[in-house]
Amino acid sequence: MIILIQCSDRVGLVAAISGLLSGKGINILSMREYVDVEANRFFNRVVCEQYPNPEILINELRSILPEDARVDINTEPQKKIIVLVTKEYHCLSDILVRNHFKTLGAHVQCVIGNHEVLKDICERFEIPFHLVGHENKTREDFELQLLTTINKHSYDYIVLAKFMRILSPAFVESFPMQIVNIHHSFLPAFAGANPYRQAYKRGVKIIGATAHFVTNQLDEGPIIEQQVIQVDHTYTAGEMMKAGKEIEKGVLAKALKMLFEDRVFVYNNKTIVFS
Amino acid sequence: MIILIQCSDRVGLVAAISGLLSGKGINILSMREYVDVEANRFFNRVVCEQYPNPEILINELRSILPEDARVDINTEPQKKIIVLVTKEYHCLSDILVRNHFKTLGAHVQCVIGNHEVLKDICERFEIPFHLVGHENKTREDFELQLLTTINKHSYDYIVLAKFMRILSPAFVESFPMQIVNIHHSFLPAFAGANPYRQAYKRGVKIIGATAHFVTNQLDEGPIIEQQVIQVDHTYTAGEMMKAGKEIEKGVLAKALKMLFEDRVFVYNNKTIVFS
Amino acid sequence: MIILIQCSDRVGLVAAISGLLSGKGINILSMREYVDVEANRFFNRVVCEQYPNPEILINELRSILPEDARVDINTEPQKKIIVLVTKEYHCLSDILVRNHFKTLGAHVQCVIGNHEVLKDICERFEIPFHLVGHENKTREDFELQLLTTINKHSYDYIVLAKFMRILSPAFVESFPMQIVNIHHSFLPAFAGANPYRQAYKRGVKIIGATAHFVTNQLDEGPIIEQQVIQVDHTYTAGEMMKAGKEIEKGVLAKALKMLFEDRVFVYNNKTIVFS
Amino acid sequence: MIILIQCSDRVGLVAAISGLLSGKGINILSMREYVDVEANRFFNRVVCEQYPNPEILINELRSILPEDARVDINTEPQKKIIVLVTKEYHCLSDILVRNHFKTLGAHVQCVIGNHEVLKDICERFEIPFHLVGHENKTREDFELQLLTTINKHSYDYIVLAKFMRILSPAFVESFPMQIVNIHHSFLPAFAGANPYRQAYKRGVKIIGATAHFVTNQLDEGPIIEQQVIQVDHTYTAGEMMKAGKEIEKGVLAKALKMLFEDRVFVYNNKTIVFS
């Protein structure tokens, strides 16, 4: 089981936490801690043997920690996710294949698309696909239908696997740090639309992709993972896009792995990732 | 000797050029060409044996090429450079060491600093150092003194090796595609001042550096080389800066190598680099 | 259409080839050439418009080239491949997904497995799967059955996508430079069995994967592509293997892309890749 | 001050250590621990405020730890090093520049060369250079003279910065885990002499460098850091060597940084690096 703690820093936190756990006979398998000195913030991830009553443990931990402590215990190794897509297959297929072979670290509950093109690949893997079209609809109606569809399933995270609609503040606020997006550039460079076209015009020698939590600042949410590749003058904007898709797939896979293994903390619009 | 050609593209350019050269008995050691299809632009770099009269060869080449052809022949393997610095030693030292051991591909004619701290390291390598302070001076006066100092030397390129003053349009225009700058971020992310502080605040997982030609759009000139490294939440802004310096040094070294070996074309505010 | 030429080097080859092509009114879209000076060997890849009679063109090209010239013209953009597998799904699934969405650059004709576990994923994509078990069989019988199965299909290349049987010299010789293997290490380090275990024991800080042509020297065939990732002391042998699979998938995908786009030459047990 | 602990693992070690430290009012600034589960080995690095009597603290720590515990406390941020070289300047110059600008994390006590060519660069930085030639000498005599020269200085580590002589077992045993070497390949590939020639002949697509502790198995000591770069068919063996030197310089710099900051543990011929 995994314990995630974040709170104000003070002397003796590690001793107090590990003392409490070993006092209860809970064997610590691994422990990572980090202090953001500038923010005076303590982050702690403990992997330990299962304990029969996690709720009681949370309370006991809280009683020895600063008042602002946030303590989460995850006893369930498999997360549940809902995937939102538009037309591009590369990220979704990668998720579906890993889900199928049980190496994703999560169960895909369903896929929701605003176009129908990816229905077929979902059906091949026996994953429910829901079409929620955005055409001839107000954004309110579109998002209402999204919400209704989402709420028919249980989930820990919503993954935007190349979902090409911007979500409203109201929608995003319903899922704080639960929506993960893959952006097709090395943010903050080329935020917004058509990043590969922008990158091509600027003549950059490196392109990248960014997986981040979605907040109400467009493309400004906490970054989980970024990767890049070298390109050169021989790449057209289209070839940059093709090369970029490989990176997008890899970055999203890495970010989801970190998330599903409970390795990601968020604070001050940044992530702490115990990779 | 190295021939660089750029012109509008049309059928038969490679045949025409290589035909002309082999007709004159000039052995081609290597040949690289690239066509920017979108811009209909042809770029060609030929390494061949020395030819006694390059001026005549340029004219003959022009006569068989489109009217807009630009032909350069470089018979001199060693470039001459002037290096401008402020206080940071890492890029300058790397250049001085390579210069000293004759692996830079260029001769450092002199170093000009707007502070005195790097005078000592120049003297250790017997490279003239000129102090051109900017304090208590108008920018006009400062740049005039820079120009006067520069013009006492011969040079092919001016290298801004962490020179922390912004140069005026008039100054920059005097050296078209002759000034190379190292910018301490992965442009276009974090243009302007304090990029490491910006990167730290944004919580990026990768930082980088960019070597580019200086034009009158700040940090917008043609990019020659970019490199990055992974960082994580444990990096303070200061540690990002430290890690960034290693990259800056490497990126500038790579860009200068490309430039000094005549591997760089500029067109449409982008570079073609035959690396 | 794509023309691949390799022959002894001599003055004027590029002029001769491009002259012949432009003389026939064939527009050259792009041209890459490379001379291995040490081996005095010339390599040339030309992308040009289709020409109605490639056989005649091959003969004309041969007539102007050195006697040892090898000229290939490929007018068919899509290759045909057969994929051999054992039990691991990651490389095969990646190939099947790209094949399904027509971005592989080749058609998968069938998959042959010496175990049955990957039959299901093939069927989901409607790709024929043939089980050719190796148990209770001599290697001769096993390979005979492989050959029989292969020969029921047409193919340009055979891809070993984690096929864990060593093929006999006789078998390999039947497919010169037609079999591509993905090896789970950064060759030549850790050739042979259990490379991740070897890498773990040696405490390396980087692991990799290698795509190469199969020849009769085990793990010694010409290397097409290699990639690596950083690992550290926290990786168990099992985690190295997991991380390695991501690289294997990417390296094989890149090597196949190069191959299917006719960008790979082989000479002296090495490849020239015009990437 | 930095505390390094390694011992057999058992429940409660982190609690015991951090309890003891906070009991003495020592503020822990950061703490990293790692358990090698396969070897049942616990590694712990604590950065904390200075404590007036480290010897007493070591004893107290030992009294609460398993019997096989090794506890080191480093109160001195600057290490002392001796650098051994032959003829190549790139690694040495990098060390001398950092030493000069006080960013190496260590003081270079002297440089010992078996050739005289690098004397000049040392003198430019006012670092003593000792010539210990190997010609017309038995290895015993050569190493005796090395030892005599080394022992005139105080040092924590001996850095082989492209020192091209193989040291005898007797010599190496005198400096257990104190000698760091930079090997010009991605070990274990291309161990031994002429790695770039070997890499060129094998046609690899990546070359690298390895910084490792020197033990009596040639090129088999614990690896501290490895890095690589892509190369391709256009690299001659000489160009691979040139590109490799850049990597060597970077790898050695990174390894020394880790070492000088007390981030490296050795166990079972492998390193644990808390980077």
Shortest alpha-carbon distance between residue D242 and chain C (Å): 18
DSSP secondary structure code for residue C79 in this structure = E
**Nearest CB to D97; choose among B93, B101, B246:** B93
Minimal Cα distance from B201: which residue of A? A270
D225 contacts in chain C (CB < 8 Å): 205
B30 in contact with C, Cβ within 8 Å = yes
The pLDDT assigned to B10 comes to 85
**Residues on chain A touching B271 (C-beta within 8 angstroms):** 203, 233
Contacts B124 to D, Cβ<8 Å: 124-125
How confident is the model at residue C171, as a pLDDT?
95
Strands (E), C143-198: 157-160, 179-183
Inter-residue contact B89 to B64 (CB < 8 Å): no
CB burial of B110-144 (b: ≥16 within 10 Å; e: otherwise) equals bbbbbbeebbebbebbebbbbebebeeeeeeebbe
pLDDT at A160 over 80: yes
Q: What is the mean pLDDT of residues C10-34?
A: 85
Whether residue D6 lies within 8 A of chain C, CB to CB, comes out as: no
Amino acid (one-letter) located at B222: P
* Cα B44 to Cα B17: distance, rounded to the nearest angstrom: 9
pLDDT at A192 over 80: no
Cα angle for residues B139, B142, B147 (degrees, 5° grid): 120
Q: Smallest CA–CA separation between D2 and chain C, in Å?
A: 20
Residue among C89, C94, C101 whose CB faces A101 most closely:
C89
Chain C residues within an 8 Å CB radius of B19: 15, 19
With vertex at residue C65, the alpha carbon angle to CA C61 and CA C71, rounded to the nearest 5 degrees, is: 55
Q: What is the pLDDT of residues B196-237, one digit of tens each?
A: 888 888 999 999 999 999 998 777 899 999 999 999 998 989
CA B101 vs. chain centroid, Å, equals 20
How many DSSP H helices and E strands does chain C contain? 8, 13
Long-range contacts of B168-175 (CB under 8 A, 24+ apart): B168/B139, B168/B140, B168/B143, B169/B216, B170/B143, B171/B143, B171/B146, B171/B147, B172/B214, B172/B215, B172/B216, B173/B216, B174/B147, B175/B214
Run of H or E including C169: helix C169-173
d(CA A171, CA A142): 11
**Cα(C141)–Cα(A187) distance, integer angstroms:** 56
Closest Cα in chain D to B89: D101
Neighbours of chain B (3+ CB pairs under 8 A): A, C, D
Task: Using an 8 Å CB-CB cutoff, list chain C residues near A250.
Answer: 246, 250
Q: Which residues contact C23 (CB under 8 A, 6 or more apart)?
A: none
| Residue whose token pair is 């760091």 | D180
Q: Return the percentage of chain A with pLDDT > 70, whole number.
A: 100
Q: Which residue has the tokens 């140069």?
A: B167
Q: How far apart are CA C60 and CA C3, in angstroms?
A: 13
| Domains C2-74 and C79-273 in one fold | no
Our measurement of the distance from residue C49's CA atom to the centroid of its chain's CA atoms, rounded to an integer in Å, reads 25
Which pair of structure tokens corresponds to residue A97? 């294949």
Please report the residues numbered 149 through 188 in chain B whose beta carbons come closer than 8 angstroms to any beta carbon of chain A: 186-188
CB contact under 8 A, B204 and A188: yes
Classify B191 as helix, strand or coil: coil
Give me the torsion for CA of C194, C197, C199, C200, rounded to 10°.
Answer: 170
User: How many whole angstroms separate alpha carbon A31 and alpha carbon A19?
Assistant: 13
C18 to chain B: closest CA residue: B15
Residues D33-84: pLDDT tens digits?
888 888 999 999 999 988 999 999 999 999 999 999 999 999 888 999 999 9
- The answer, yes or no, to whether residue C64 has pLDDT greater than 80, is yes
Q: What is the pTM of this model?
A: 0.93
Q: Which helix (H) or strand (E) holds A93?
A: helix A90-100
CB B106 within 8 A of CB B96: no
Residues sharing a CB contact under 8 Å with residue A148, sequence separation 6 or more, in sequence order = none
Helix, strand, coil fractions of chain C, as percent rounded to 5: 30, 30, 40
Question: Choosing among D43, D196, D205, D268, which should be mutated to test the C contact, i.e. which has the most C CBs within 10 A?
Answer: D205
The alpha carbon torsion through D119, D125, D127, D130 (nearest 10 deg) reads 0
Q: Does B36 touch chain A (CB under 8 A)?
A: yes
Respond yes or no: is residue A72 known to be catalytic: no
CATH of domain A79-273: 3.40.50.170
Q: Which residues share a beta bridge with C188? A: none
- Residue D245: pLDDT over 90: yes
- B52 close to C (CB below 8 A): no
Residues of A in contact with C121 (CB under 8 A): 100
Compute the nearest-CA separation of B247 from chain D (Å). Answer: 10
Domain boundaries, chain B: 2-74, 79-273
Contact with chain D for residue C255, Cβ under 8 A = no
Is the per-residue pLDDT at D24 higher than 80? yes
Tens-place pLDDT, residues C132-191: 999 999 999 999 999 999 999 999 999 999 999 999 999 999 999 999 999 988 777 877
D184: Cβ–Cβ under 8 A, 6 or more apart, which residues? D162, D195, D196, D209, D241, D244, D248
User: Across the A/D interface, how many CB contacts are shorter than 8 Å?
Assistant: 40
> Tokens at residue A127, please?
């994953």
In the set C72, C94, C219, C232, the catalytic residue is C219
Type of residue found at C2:
I
CA separation for the pair A41, A1 (Å, rounded): 23
A133 touches chain D (CB under 8 A): no
Q: Tell whether A11 is within 8 A of chain D (Cβ).
A: yes
Q: Which of C88, C101, C228 to mutate to test the interface with A (most CBs of A within 10 A)?
A: C101
pLDDT tens across B228-269, in order?
Answer: 999 999 898 999 999 999 999 999 999 999 999 999 999 999
* Environment class of C208 (CB within 10 Å of its CB; exposed 0-12, middle 13-18, buried 19+): buried
Residue B130 has pLDDT above 90, yes or no: yes
Q: For the CA atoms of D34, D38, D39, D41, what is the dihedral angle to 10 degrees?
A: 20
Q: Active-site residue among D36, D72, D219, D262?
A: D219
Residue among B188, B203, B208 minimizing CB distance to A202:
B188
Fold of C2-74: Alpha-Beta Plaits (3.30.70)
Do C233 and D202 lie within an 8 Å CB cutoff?
A: no
Chain C residues 81-100 with a CB less than 8 Å from chain A: 89-90, 93-94, 97, 100
Chains that touch D (3 or more CB pairs under 8 A): A, B, C
Angle D237-260/D90-100 helices, nearest 10 degrees? 30
Chain A residue closest to D13 (CA)? A18
Residue of B94, B141, B219, B232 marked catalytic: B219
Cα C258 to the center of its chain, rounded Å = 8
Q: Is D88 strand, coil or helix?
A: coil
Collect all residues with Cβ–Cβ distance below 8 Å to C264 and sequence separation of at least 6.
C224, C258, C271, C272, C273
CB–CB of C202 and D186 under 8 A? Answer: no
Closest to A250 (Cα-Cα) out of D79, C251, C205 = C251
Asked if C125 and A125 come within 8 Å (Cβ–Cβ), the reply is no
Q: How far is CA A83 from CA A91, A112, A163, A210, B171, in A?
A: 10, 6, 9, 17, 54
Bond preceding residue C188 cis, omega within 30 of 0: yes
Q: What is the pLDDT of residue B215?
A: 93
Token readout for D239 is 């160009």
- Cβ of C31 within 8 Å of Cβ of B27? The answer is no
User: A-chain residues within 8 Å CB-CB of B34?
Assistant: 233-234
Query: Is ipTM strictly over 0.90?
Result: yes
CB-hemisphere CA count at 13 Å for B6? 16
Backbone torsions φ then ψ of A23, nearest 5 degrees: -60, -30
CA distance D26 to chain B (A): 22
Q: Which pLDDT band holds residue A191 (cuts at 50, 70, 90)?
A: confident
* Averaged pLDDT, B158-170: 95
Q: Which of A253, A214, A238, A213 is nearest to A91 (CA)?
A: A253
Q: What is the pLDDT of residue C233?
A: 93
Number of C-alpha atoms within 13 angstroms, CB side, residue C76?
A: 8
DSSP state of B100: H
Rounded Cα gap, residues B213 and B219, in angstroms: 9
Segment D255-271 shows an average pLDDT of: 96
For residues D222 and D266, what is the distance between their CA atoms, to the nearest angstrom?
7
Q: What is the mean pLDDT of residues D183-189?
A: 82
SS3 for B4-70 is: EEEEECCCCHHHHHHHHHHHCCCCEEEEEEEEECCCCEEEEEEEECCCCCHHHHHHHHHHHCCCCCE
Closest CA to D97 of B7, A203, A100, B89: B89
What is the phi/psi pair of residue B205, to 5°? -105, 0
R_g over Cα of chain A = 20
Mean pLDDT of A229-236: 91
**CA angle B183–B185–B191, rounded 5-degree value:** 80
Indicate which residue of A72, A94, A219, A232 is catalytic.
Answer: A219
Q: Which two tokens stand for residue D223?
A: 């690896």
- Residue D75's Cβ-count burial label (10 Å; 0-12, 13-18, 19+) is exposed
Q: Does any CB of chain A come closer than 8 Å to the CB of residue B204? A: yes
Is the model's pLDDT at A218 over the cut of 80? no
**Contacts with B94 from chain D: Cβ below 8 Å:** 97
